Amino acid sequence: MRCWFALAFLFLTSASVLAAEEARELTIAGHVTLGTLRLPPQPSADMPIVVMTHGTLAHKDMGTVQGLSKALAERGIATLAHTLSLGVDRRKGMYDCAIAHDYTSEDAVAEIAAWIAKAQQTSSRVYLLGHSRGGNQVARYLASHPPGSVKGAILLAPATTAVETGLRAAYAETFGQPLEPLLARSDAAVNAGRGGEWMTMPGFIYCRDAKVTARAFSAFYRADPRQDTAGLIAEIAVPVLVLAAAQDKTVPDVQQSFAPLVSRTGRRVRLETVEDADHFFLDLAADDATDRIAGFITDVR
């Protein structure tokens, strides 16, 4: 009998945990995108909800996003994590380099906007979180849209100008051909109205021998003021928490990039460093980051 009660308790506990996670789908610009709504154990009408955007070629179920989402739920904060379509219906897992590439950061901004609207069906207290290049895309959204229900934003190891410049400078070493002639070819196609033209390139982002549209190649490798995440944040009005990782080898200059902005904006932009974190904020670093995010959300209502 005791065994039966124990099994029943475990079943009910597991069911309640499963009920707290709900799959979501949105069709945006003709592509079906996937999301996960995670609610705290005791959801309330005024609970905050965080719309979470992953980094380069990643997805909503990566360790960084899932770890923070589950930890935030334990602190009474709902999350809506989404996977950017990158031109692929119902995309799951890391982007497959065998698939042709046709997407830009502006496409991501449109998807973030759609997921914010979806989050508003759960709560009027919406916050944004972006990791790595997702942090830049969140900043692009904020710089180009009125705040509306968005109360604040968290940028987790956000991409910086120096990182983007470094990728361009390292192209020849990484892929064996200089970038400039390739970029000139894609720019010429875009300027002639053929942005959707397919090109075979020696590399694109992390992928070798990539088939990519001219618009995607130019958008990623052309120098663009909007790649300056700190510069975008300087233009917006909502409060922002920037979390740098002390052991970050991917975006090592977050502190250097955002410190001047913090000194100009006072408390609107907060810059904090998680000492034991690398670029992905896993394990104990996730708990530390979550505490800081929860504190920020409590302060910014």
Q: What pLDDT is attached to residue 5?
A: 34
Q: What pLDDT is attached to residue 186?
A: 98
Please tell me the distance from the alpha carbon of residue 35 to that of residue 82, in angstroms, as a whole number.
Answer: 4
170 shares a domain with 210: yes
Last residue in a domain, options 169, 195, 224: 224
4 is a domain residue: no
CATH of the domain at 278: 3.40.50.1820
6 is a domain residue: no
Residues contacting 68, CB < 8 A, separation 6+: 52, 79, 129, 156, 281, 286, 289, 290, 293
Q: What pLDDT is attached to residue 14?
A: 43
Strands 150-156 and 126-131: parallel
**Average pLDDT, integer, range 125-152:** 97
Q: What is the pLDDT of residues 168-204, one digit of tens each?
A: 999 999 999 999 999 999 999 999 999 999 999 999 9
Last residue in a domain, options 178, 204, 224: 224
Q: What pLDDT is attached to residue 3?
A: 40
179 is a domain residue: yes
Q: Is the pLDDT of residue 7 over 60?
A: no
More confident residue, 44 or 12: 44
Last residue in a domain, options 198, 224, 250: 224
258 shares a domain with 154: yes
190 shares a domain with 272: no
71 shares a domain with 169: no
Q: Residue 80: what are its φ and ψ, rounded to 5°?
A: -130, 95
Please tell me the distance from the alpha carbon of residue 95 to that of residue 206, in angstroms, as a whole number.
Answer: 10
167 is a domain residue: yes
258 shares a domain with 133: yes
Confidence of residue 20 (pLDDT cuts 50, 70, 90): confident
**Average pLDDT, integer, range 274-292:** 97
Q: What is the pLDDT of residues 215-271, one digit of tens each?
A: 999 999 999 999 999 999 999 999 999 999 999 999 999 999 999 998 887 789 999
244 is a domain residue: yes
More confident residue, 161 or 301: 161
146 shares a domain with 125: yes
216 shares a domain with 67: no
Q: What pLDDT is attached to residue 126?
A: 98
206 dihedral zone (left: phi>0; alpha: psi -120 to 50; beta): alpha
Q: Are 52 and 68 in contact (CB under 8 A)?
A: yes
12 is a domain residue: no
Q: Which of 82, 86, 85, 55 is nearest to 69 (CA)?
A: 82
Structural domains in the chain (count): 2
Percent of the chain with pLDDT over 70: 94
Q: Determine the structural domain holding residue 282 and report its residue range.
A: 21-160+228-299
136 shares a domain with 179: no
Q: Give the residue ranges of DSSP H helices in 131-245.
A: 133-144, 161-169, 171-175, 179-191, 214-221, 229-233
Beta bridge partners of 101: 212
Q: What is the pLDDT of residues 52-92, one digit of tens each?
A: 999 999 999 999 999 999 999 999 999 999 999 999 999 99
Q: How many residues does the chain have?
A: 301
Q: What pLDDT is attached to residue 12?
A: 37
283 shares a domain with 170: no
Q: Is 47 exposed, middle or buried (0-12, 13-18, 19+ CB in 10 A)?
A: middle
92 is a domain residue: yes
Q: Which pTM was predicted? A: 0.92
Angle value at C-alpha 225, between 220 and 229, nearest 5 degrees: 85
Q: What pLDDT is attached to residue 73?
A: 97
235 shares a domain with 277: yes
Q: Are 82 and 28 in contact (CB under 8 A)?
A: no
Q: What pLDDT is attached to residue 239?
A: 97
Confidence of residue 17 (pLDDT cuts 50, 70, 90): very low
Q: What pLDDT is attached to residue 1?
A: 40
Q: Are 53 and 105 in contact (CB under 8 A)?
A: no
Q: What pLDDT is attached to residue 70?
A: 97
234 shares a domain with 218: no
287 shares a domain with 268: yes
Strands 198-204 and 126-131: unpaired
Please tell me the distance from the alpha carbon of residue 202 to that of residue 171, in angstroms, as a whole number.
Answer: 10
